[in-house]
Amino acid sequence: MTLAVLPILIPVLMMIIHLLIRKDSVAAVSGITGSILLLVSSGFIAREVFSGDYLSLVAGGWDAPFGISIVIDPMSAMFLVSSSVIVQARSIFALRLTERKKHLTRVYCFFFTLSLGINGAFITGDIFNLYVWFEIMLLSSFVLITLGFSKDQMRAGIKYMALNLIGSLFFLAGIGLLYGKTGTLNMAHLAEILMNDDQSILINSSAMLFFLAFGIKAAVFPLYFWLPASYHTPDITVTSLFAGILTKVGVYAMIRFFTLFFVQDPLFWHNLLFVIAGFTMLVGGMAAISRYETRKILSYHIISQIGYMIMGLAIFTPLGIAGAIFFTLHNMLAKTNAFVVSGLINRMRGSYSLKEVGGLFRESPLLASLFIIPAFALAGIPPLSGFFAKFILIKAGFEGGHYWITGIAVLTGLMTLYSMIKIWNEAFLKKVPEQRSRQEPVSLGFVDLLPSIILGT
């Protein structure tokens, strides 16, 4: 019971501490310490869960459907560990790359607020509390997007907030309809009630509202346009955390809901998910190959790779679901790492535009190696994790006879590879542009490279 509450308790304590701290140097030490505590506690939770003992906690001793419940199963534990690794790497990354005008005390405070919402979403056993955790994530991420108060950040923040608030309204409406139908919002209790419910039309009304809410959070087609409009505007420290975790929480919720209790009308939902997955992969992949700015390329790849996760859910076989979960976990780490490396490229060359960078392979071979790991993993090159994630999904697609979506997945993988090769050629292999060659070179220290090393291993 003590372990189950730690993913919530630690971020709350770190938020309070960073509200009281006034010095950036103290905030840096406490931020790294807090992220280490999160990682260690997540490791202990995973060990406990995988030993066969699921962790659960019911507030006040009130059983379902009345109590607020926390449930940690193997899926929750894996997402907790992955997000904790990202938070740990990000806490180190913020030391050098966060602009001085953005004080570390505020940055770490809202990072831990965001971690609170993320961890709560992963371990809650109650739908209304999932809504609460989503709102905590939304508010803290809005603050982080607009923290620099630039015109671009404010414009992006308004788009981000407005569209995600619409998703929250869909979520709340779905909760109301589902509670009116079943009289409970406890996930396990809902699964028991709806398992044999034959009124699929009534359930589908709630399911569609949840699908729209999670679709906006996950940035699936055609609900994705808030992501590329906002992710390139904040500090890269913020963007790297968003890229690795935020959309994956939406995917996590979608997998939970559509495998646990929204299973009444499989023909309709699986066909819809296949169409959504195919368009999400294609639109994200095609948009990425047309961009020439690293953050925008990687932002559109977030969208295309969400399509793979939805594809696994649509296949709806044990192998397909396992592939979707494995692909999500792989993408959380690899995508964060790719954004970290893009921040290091910007630190050395002062730009994210591929037309203004170059010559980095000769200047920093280690940085080039660190880029290869997430780039090839995202493209699905063996023996990296992305290859096995895509292999599982493609194998599940062929076994289920879903050849057209499998073909789209292969094509999207080729587009991802093309984009990564473009970044490699422009940033690392070509000569330094003339206007940049006169600038004094910026060297990277071990602390700069350490977050990418953590995520790459």
pLDDT of 85 reads: 92
Tokens coding 174: 């779905």
- Average pLDDT, rounded, for the chain: 87
Q: What is the pLDDT of residues 58-111, one digit of tens each?
A: 876 777 667 788 889 999 999 999 999 999 888 888 776 554 545 677 788 888
Q: Which residues pair with 124 in a beta bridge?
A: 70
pLDDT of 3 reads: 81
Rounded to whole angstroms, how far apart are CA atoms 61 and 71?
14
Q: Which of 330, 126, 313 is nearest to 220 (CA)?
A: 313
Q: What is the pLDDT of residues 288-320, one digit of tens each?
A: 998 888 999 999 999 999 999 999 999 999 999
How large is the average pLDDT for residues 43-53? 88
Torsion, Cα 425 427 430 435, to 10 degrees, reads 150
pLDDT of 440 reads: 62
Rounded to whole angstroms, how far apart are CA atoms 451 and 93?
6
Q: What is the pLDDT of residues 343-362, one digit of tens each?
A: 888 888 888 888 888 888 88
DSSP state of 353: B
Helices 236-260 + 74-97 axis angle, to 10: 170
Cβ-contact 393, 312 below 8 angstroms: yes
Most confident option among 271-275, 380-384, 423-427: 271-275
How large is the average pLDDT for residues 405-434? 90
pLDDT of 437 reads: 52
In this structure, of 178-182, 209-213, 215-219, 253-257, the range with the lowest mean pLDDT score is 178-182
Higher pLDDT, 197 or 374: 374
Q: Positive or negative CA dihedral for 425, 381, 337, 299?
A: positive
Rounded to whole angstroms, how far apart are CA atoms 400 and 409?
15
Rounded to whole angstroms, how far apart are CA atoms 318 and 36?
34
